[in-house]
Amino acid sequence: MRGAVQDGINVFKGIPYGASTAGKNRFMPPKKPVPWSGVRDSTAFGHAAPQVPLGSNYDYARIIDWLTFPGGQSEDCLVLNIWTPAVKDDGKRPVLVSFHGGGFTTGSGANIFYNGLPLAKFGDVVVVTLNHRLGCLGHLSMADIGAPPEFAQAGVAGMMDCVLALEWVRDNIANFGGDSGKVMIFGQSGGGAKVSHLLAMPSARGLFQRAAIQSSGWPLRAMPRDCATRAAERMLAHLGLTKARVAELQQVPVEMILSAQAALEAQEVPVDFAPVLDGSVIPRHPFDPDAPPVSADVPLIISTTLDDVSFGRTDFDLDEAGLRNEVAKIASGKADETVAAYRRAFPSSSAFLLLCKMLTDRGVRRTAYLLADRKAALHRAPAYMYVLEFPSRAYGGKFGAVHATDVPLVFHNIAGQQLTGNGAEAKRVADQMAAAWVAFARTGNPNHAEIPHWPAYTPDKQETMIFNQTSRVENAPWNELRSLWTASEPEPDC
């Protein structure tokens, strides 16, 4: 392969770790890439997986540049990218493998957030990003609708892609100066959900030694098999195919499949496409009812941002009356009490950000602490918890510490980023967080000289690092607020 040198870092893009998933390979387990002769140019990003565009508000979509795909889209999407300080030098550097966000339906490892160059240079580490199958192309469960047996793993194909990429890293990363015995996998949002699933997959065991789950709203459970079967039946019906013609899905133009997926996602009872609890590749729920024993010896970082859910809302001008109306819908007759408690804790927050803190505590943050409790209950490898308090600089700070603000910070990738800004404050937080990532990848412990001592999480103390310009550790931070939501109902499986 021929890469390029950028700012002293060797960059290789669009490396195939698997064969094309088009045609007869659609819905099939991934296959090894086709060998090539001569020198392959690896200076441009490969294809992203075909996908339905992100359905988010415009301002946030602009901030994260989620609709830009430098390599275009194609079913020939099993590619990865590498940033490394040196090649073939027996460097044995830690390897940080990033799984992109976007749920299980959108995203690309070529997004501007995931530029691995700054982190590789900052920490003398190897950084890997990758693409894999998404949406129904990666998670259409056909095992129970009469499909031929070769389609049995279609509902987990996207996660099998992720395992194949990690096998490629194991077999090849030494040539790129990396150590296959010091592999850290990490991801934010949907990337975090991918990490939680990998932690429960026997086929991924031994392919990584540390992991991090950032702001994942659904890290506990895989898609139940009956829900996935109903989703597949609705896909077939939308395309006008009977169960007897299920194999023809390999011939349907990919544009029609994506159109059908978009229509199903937009229905009053939407269809979700996510990894399926198939009983084999994914034999159990990732973290329900407990943490997976198969990864008990893997240290784990778990996190949220203070205002995580603000990315999905546009009611920035919410007033106090509107706030109380919104809280009344979720606070079980205790709207005034709840608003007063949050106002005492965050007296300068806008009504919009106060509501976002509540919704974050009620949802993703409650899930994060539950996940940490279950990991700690194994009494094996430690878990470390953090909350990012540092607010986004985008749009005058109206989003607060929004979902994904920590992504460019852990990548030390703040140059030109609207989300974090590029000032001294952002650099200070990026220095702390990226150094924690490097230390964790190297040793399994995130502590370093630029932060206060970060203890492992225990259920009784709930030790939590609060990352900001001046970071601090608190036991059970904002617990009196989080405890207001412990009785709320979990989201249904499907």
> Is 247 a member of any domain?
no
Query: What tens digit of pLDDT does each residue of 38-49 get?
Result: 999 999 999 999
With cut-offs at 50, 70 and 90, classify the pLDDT of residue 147: very high
Pick from 59-68, 271-280, 367-376: least confident: 59-68
Is there a single domain that holds both residue 290 and residue 359?
no
Query: What tens digit of pLDDT does each residue of 7-38 get?
Result: 999 999 999 999 999 999 999 999 999 999 99
CB 73 within 8 A of CB 51: yes
Is there a single domain that holds both residue 313 and residue 280?
no
Is there a single domain that holds both residue 368 and residue 445?
yes
Judged against a pLDDT cut of 90, whether residue 54 lies above it is answered with no
Is there a single domain that holds both residue 451 and residue 355?
yes
Is there a single domain that holds both residue 108 and residue 13?
yes
> Is 257 a member of any domain?
no
Is there a single domain that holds both residue 197 and residue 343?
no
Identify the domain boundary among 295, 326, 357: 295
Judged against a pLDDT cut of 90, whether residue 432 lies above it is answered with yes
Query: What tens digit of pLDDT does each residue of 161-193 get?
Result: 999 999 999 999 999 999 999 999 999 999 999
Q: 57 or 385, which is more confident?
A: 385
Judged against a pLDDT cut of 90, whether residue 358 lies above it is answered with yes
Is there a single domain that holds both residue 282 and residue 368?
no
How far is the C-alpha of 139 from the C-alpha of 154, rounded, in Å? 6
| pLDDT confidence of residue 493 | 63
Judged against a pLDDT cut of 70, whether residue 444 lies above it is answered with yes
Is there a single domain that holds both residue 210 and residue 347?
no
With cut-offs at 50, 70 and 90, classify the pLDDT of residue 492: low
For 309, phi and psi rounded to 5 degrees?
-80, 0
> Is 165 a member of any domain?
yes
| pLDDT confidence of residue 82 | 99
Query: What tens digit of pLDDT does each residue of 193-240 get?
Result: 999 999 999 999 999 999 999 999 889 999 999 999 999 999 999 999
Distances (CA, A) of 260 to 52, 160, 239, 254, 300: 10, 24, 7, 10, 37
Judged against a pLDDT cut of 90, whether residue 58 lies above it is answered with no
Identify the domain boundary among 233, 263, 295: 295
Report H helices in 65-156.
117-123, 135-139
| pLDDT confidence of residue 464 | 98
> Is 246 a member of any domain?
no
> Is 49 a member of any domain?
yes
| pLDDT > 70 in the chain, percent | 98
Is there a single domain that holds both residue 132 and residue 187?
yes
Give the angle 196-197-200 at the CA atoms, nearest 5°.
95
Judged against a pLDDT cut of 90, whether residue 333 lies above it is answered with no
8-state DSSP, 71? T
Is there a single domain that holds both residue 387 and residue 357?
yes
Query: What tens digit of pLDDT does each residue of 238-264 get?
Result: 999 999 999 999 999 999 999 999 999
> Is 155 a member of any domain?
yes
Judged against a pLDDT cut of 80, whether residue 328 lies above it is answered with yes
Mean pLDDT of 377-386: 98
The string of DSSP codes covering 161-214 is: HHHHHHHHHHHHGGGGTEEEEEEEEEEETHHHHHHHHHTT-GGGTTS-SEEEEE
How many independent structural domains does the chain possess? 2
| pLDDT confidence of residue 57 | 74
| pLDDT confidence of residue 283 | 98
Give the Cβ contact number of residue 88 at 10 Å.
9
Judged against a pLDDT cut of 70, whether residue 390 lies above it is answered with yes
The CATH number of whichever domain residue 451 belongs to comes to 3.40.50.1820
Is there a single domain that holds both residue 281 and residue 340?
no
Range of the domain at 291: 4-224+274-295
How far is the C-alpha of 61 from the C-alpha of 282, rounded, in Å? 32
Which helix (DSSP H) or strand (DSSP E) does residue 474 occupy? strand 472-475
> Is 264 a member of any domain?
no
Structure tokens given for 92: 């044995």
Q: Mapping DSSP to helix (H, G, I), strand (E, B) and coil, where does residue 304 land? A: strand
Is there a single domain that holds both residue 76 and residue 167?
yes
> Is 231 a member of any domain?
no
The answer to whether the pTM exceeds 0.75 is: yes
Judged against a pLDDT cut of 70, whether residue 490 lies above it is answered with no
Query: What tens digit of pLDDT does each residue of 81-96 get?
Result: 999 999 999 999 999 9
Task: Verify cis geometry, omega within 30 degrees of 0, for the bond prior to 286.
Answer: no
With cut-offs at 50, 70 and 90, classify the pLDDT of residue 487: low
